[in-house]
Structure 1
Amino acid sequence: MKNTVALSEVDRRLLDHLQRDCRISNQELAAAIGMSASACWRRVRALEEAGVISGYVALVDGERIGQRFSAIVHVMLQRHERHHLDEFLDALSRRPEVLQVFATTGEADYHVHVLCEDKDAYNAFLEEFLFRLPGVAQVRTNLILKSIKSTPRVPL
């Protein structure tokens, strides 16, 4: 389990602004928060070093670049031996079409969010990759018909 970092109100305001626009300049961010640019830079740097800010990304609209097939894949494992589990998770982490992997309770052991071009690409992902992983007992797919809410923003 990761250590929890206590956030001040200034930290929360900094994080809120950065989650909305991580391309904001340090001077603009400092002005928005009401602090000096040097103090702002030090606070942001401390949040990065503490692991609160783990990186910065551009959010790409998959549909606009032809990635229109989105699914949640429910994976049940037949074996939970450590080496099979490590191999399974390592293999999933290397696949570009795998956006998220969640270990869960309930019927499925893992829920995997997959995004690819079309059903043929998804079928190839299943047949040439997922079904060949050792320990995979059952796979069930739920197609995502429409995204209602999707945000990387963490509530502060």
Structure 2
Amino acid sequence: MVEQFKIDQIDGKILDLLQQNSRISNQEIANQVGASVSSVWRRINALEEAKVIQGYGLTVSPEKMGYSETILLQVSLEQHNDTYLEEFTEMVNTIPEILECYATTGEYDYVMKVLATDMRSYHRFLRNSLMSMPFISKTFSQVVMDKIKFQKVIPTTAAQKK
């Protein structure tokens, strides 16, 4: 089990600001949370060391990069031995169009978020990667028709209540 890091209201405000704009300066954060710059710097370092902050980044538009299709792909394995699980994990980690992959409960073993330039390219992806693996027993694809909510921001309120 992952140990929860204890944050206070100021830490929560710092995380909220950094999630909105990871390029914000420590001075601007200090101004907005009512703390000194050195205090903000120490708090951010502590959050980084505790792996609460796991990295900084930006969001790129899949559509602007030529990916017009987002597919939620469910996958079941024929068997769950170590060799097949390692092969599957290695395959997933080598395909950049697979953005996310989760081991799940229920009828399917995994759920993935996959990008494709079009449905033909998705068909090639299925045929050349997953369906070429002998231990994949079944797949189920759902094409995303519209993005209702896309959020990378993690709410900080739960961590502040503990």
Q: Which TM-score applies when normalising by structure 1? A: 0.95
Which residue identity does 1:55 align to in structure 2? Answer: G
Aligned to 1:97: 97
After TM superposition, list the pairs within 5 Å mapping 1:50-69 onto structure 2: 50-69=50-69
- Residue aligning to 1:77: 77
Which string of whole-angstrom CA distances, capped at 9 and with x for unpartnered residues, describes residues 121-152 of structure 1? Answer: 21121111111234211011110000100101
**Cα deviation, residue 65, structure 1:** 1.9
Other structure's SS at 2:154 match = coil
User: Could you say what secondary structure the match of 1:112 adopts?
Assistant: strand
Residue aligned with 1:105, SS: coil
Deviation, 1:90, is 2.0
How far apart, CA to CA, are the structure 2 residues paired with 1:125 and 1:150? 24
Q: Which residue of 2 aligns with 1:43?
A: 43
In the other structure, the counterpart of 1:138 is: 138
Return structure 1 stretches of 4+ with deviation > 2 angstroms.
none
Query: What's the offset of the Cα at 1:108?
Result: 0.7
Name the CA distance, whole Å, in 1 between partners of 2:18 and 2:133: 39
Counterparts of 2:46 and 2:91 in 1: how far apart (Å)? 33
Residues 5-20 of structure 1: pairs in structure 2 closer than 5 A: 5-20=5-20
Q: Looking at both structures, which has the greater relative contact order when contacts are Cα pairs under 8 Å and sequence separation is at least 6?
A: 2
**SS class of match (1:60):** coil
Q: Which residue of 1 aligns with 2:159?
A: none
- The offset of 1:3, in angstroms, is 1.8
Structure 2: runs of 5+ lacking an equivalent: 157-162
Letter paired with 1:115: L
1:4-30 CA distance string (max 9 Å, x none): 111111111110111111110111111
Distance of 2:57 and 2:133 partners within structure 1: 30
- Normalised TM-score (structure 2): 0.92
Aligned residues: 156
In 2: Cα distance, 1:55 partner to 1:133 partner = 33
